[in-house]
A and B are shown apart, each in its own frame.
Chain A
Amino acid sequence: MARYDRAITVFSPDGHLFQVEYALEAVRKGNAAVGVRGSDTVVLGVEKKSTPKLQDSRTVRKIVSLDTHIALACAGLKADARVLINRARIECQSHRLTVEDPVTVEYITRYIAGLQQKYTQSGGVRPFGLSTLIVGFDPYSEKPALYQTDPSGTFSAWKANATGRNSNSMREFLEKNYKETSGKETIKLAIRALLEVVESGGKNIEIAVMTHKDGLRQLEEAEIDEYVAEIEAEKAAAEAAKKGGFCFIILY
């Protein structure tokens, strides 16, 4: 069988793999995605582009489950994502069959990252153009986990991270405002981070929450609108307090 033997991803004279860096550019153009880890909950959020009127929005799911206890969101080329997700799903089941145990979040992240790396070092293929945020709970453990992979094939664990469009501003926001949260507070933190870069409203945000007991749950538009309303109210109150205090000082 004829096989390609010429690699497309080769080193530049100053040590860069340009194809991988171009893939990262593609990721930067993709939809914003954020992941936040709480003490008992882990939340994924993605920016939803406005759906054309004739499109069936149910078929466009941005946050997918890899197994009953693992979920994934990604930024970048969605077609590449489909391929990667299918392979990951097969690996989750294959692991269950050979070891009679569900995968740990780290194992499946390592597998996906390994797959992404393989495509930077094989003949005739280009790297996958997406970064993934993988969340879940390890079997026999109640602690949530959040991992990120990128087109180069590196992965690491995070308390909170963002990828895709304007990920830098989202990450800055998270760094400033991150604290150990649980339950609703974690959801609110994720939404607040997304709202930094996305127009507000349940129409433009997709949120999924994973808990150890209930697994993955996609929030309804109405629920998201509720949270957004809460957040805006809190923001307004904070502004008012600041302004009020300021006036107070001046008056005094």
Chain B
Amino acid sequence: MLLLVFGLSFLSFFPSLSLSQHFAPTRTKPHHRISVSLNLKQRKQREEKRRMMMKLDTSGLESFSAAVPSAMAAAEDQLFAPPSFDLPAGCADFDKFQMEAKQTLKHAKGTTTLAFIFNQGVIVAADSRASMGGYISSQSVKKIIEINPYMLGTMAGGAADCQFWHRNLGIKCRLHELANKRRISVTGASKLLANILYSYRGMGLSIGTMIAGWDEKGPGLYYVDSEGGRLKGNRFSVGSGSPYAYGVLDNGYRPDMTVEEAHELARRAIYHATFRDGASGGVVSVYHVGPNGWKKLSGDDVSELHYKYYPVQPTPVEHEMVDAPPA
């Protein structure tokens, strides 16, 4: 399921805990958290701890009462204190509880993306469905992000996280080019992203991306995720539909394919994944990265692909019904 991040201020008005079980929001803005029954001192302590852990400078978002002298602030806080509720039984550490809840539900990155290297370059393919539980929120999400004219990134996990950090990576790659008068290698770019994601480890980023490109050393493909892992490889598939895509991809892969054959293989692999995985669907996009940069090869709707691969057989009718001849 691809999580779309709502305006989180919306959530802060809902003190009910059951909301977290439906949507399990990734906590990117701790100031707008769900308020629960903690007395003032505990809440302030937690805010302090969170503030010290945060890397981003959120001083601009602090509420105005923080600037007011403490006596006044205390009075104000009591006046405007939100309604308090009892914590669930046996929940001393609310943060840990929330993390555990998220883990049990384990929203695997609902998508299918794949990429592989062959003799003529790199093929990158992805579906385009975004879902939230059983609801399909979009059938036309761009999951292949163009970092720069010779590098692509795929999106799996949190859409906002992927989009933002890929754009950020694009900026860093361009700055590297300007400073060093030569393009950054795929190795370097993936390492930059992996180091950034590692420094945000544990803070709720959800990214499972592949960086594909062509540099001085030839075609390059790396898998980078929000746990800070980074793997170099020839074939990767990421997302909830990846087992199905791997089946087709590993079966049909040959390093000496032509671009057309590789294109068809990637398209078929994604189609089969969308057929079996409910969280994948929409349109299959296939890109090819060659020595001169990337080029979009095709974007096919999977339902049309289905009938292309499995055309409707005209079933023979056993007894044709003939109109009774007019009397």
Contact = CB atoms under 8 A, between A and B. Distances in A.
Interface of A: 98-101, 104, 106-107, 110, 140
Nearest to B187: A100
Contacts of B216: 140
Contact of B185 (A99, A104, A106, A110): A99
Nearest to A98: B191
Most B CB within 10 A of own CB, among A101, A106, A140:
A101
Contacts of B88: none
Interface string B168-209: 000000000001111011011001100100000000000000
A10 B31 CA distance: 46
A251 to B, nearest CB: 61
B180 A100 contact: no
A99 B184 contact: yes
A106 B180 CA distance: 8
Interface in B49-63: none
A104 B187 CA distance: 16
Contacts of A104: 180, 182
A101 B180 contact: no
Given A107-B180, A140-B216, A101 B187 contact: yes
A215 B291 CA distance: 31
Given A100-B188, A110-B179, 16 more contacts: A98-B191, A98-B192, A98-B195, A99-B184, A99-B185, A99-B187, A99-B191, A99-B192, A100-B185, A100-B187, A100-B191, A101-B185, A101-B187, A104-B180, A104-B182, A106-B181
A80 B192 CA distance: 32
B193 to A, nearest CB: 11
B271 to A, nearest CB: 35
A243 B185 CA distance: 60
Contacts of A100: 185, 187-188, 191
A107 B181 CA distance: 10
Nearest to A104: B180
B180 A98 contact: no
A233 to B, nearest CB: 44
A249 B25 CA distance: 99
Q: List 5 A-B pairs, minimum CB-CB distance, nearest first.
A: A99-B188, A100-B187, A98-B191, A100-B191, A107-B180
A220 B225 CA distance: 52
Contacts of A99: 184-185, 187-188, 191-192
Contacts of B185: 99-101
Contacts of B187: 99-101
Nearest to B180: A107
A162 to B, nearest CB: 27
A101 to B, nearest CB: 6
A64 to B, nearest CB: 24
A219 B216 CA distance: 35
Contact of A101 (B179, B181, B188, B192): B188
Nearest to A110: B179
A112 to B, nearest CB: 15
23 contacts: A98-B188, A98-B191, A98-B192, A98-B195, A99-B184, A99-B185, A99-B188, A99-B191, A99-B192, A100-B185, A100-B187, A100-B188, A100-B191, A101-B185, A101-B187, A101-B188, A104-B180, A104-B182, A106-B180, A106-B181, A107-B180, A110-B179, A140-B216
A99 B191 CA distance: 6
Nearest to A107: B180
Contacts of A107: 180
Nearest to A139: B216
A98 B181 CA distance: 18
A160 B210 CA distance: 46
A110 B185 CA distance: 20
B219 to A, nearest CB: 16
A140 B181 CA distance: 15
A104 B192 CA distance: 18
Contacts of A101: 185, 187-188
A131 to B, nearest CB: 23
A234 to B, nearest CB: 40
A104 B179 CA distance: 12
A107 B187 CA distance: 18
A140 B218 CA distance: 13
B181 to A, nearest CB: 8
A100 B184 CA distance: 11
Nearest to B190: A100
A107 B192 CA distance: 17
Contacts of B195: 98
Most A CB within 10 A of own CB, among B179, B180, B185, B216:
B180
Nearest to A140: B216
Contacts of B191: 98-100
Nearest to A100: B187
A119 B179 CA distance: 21
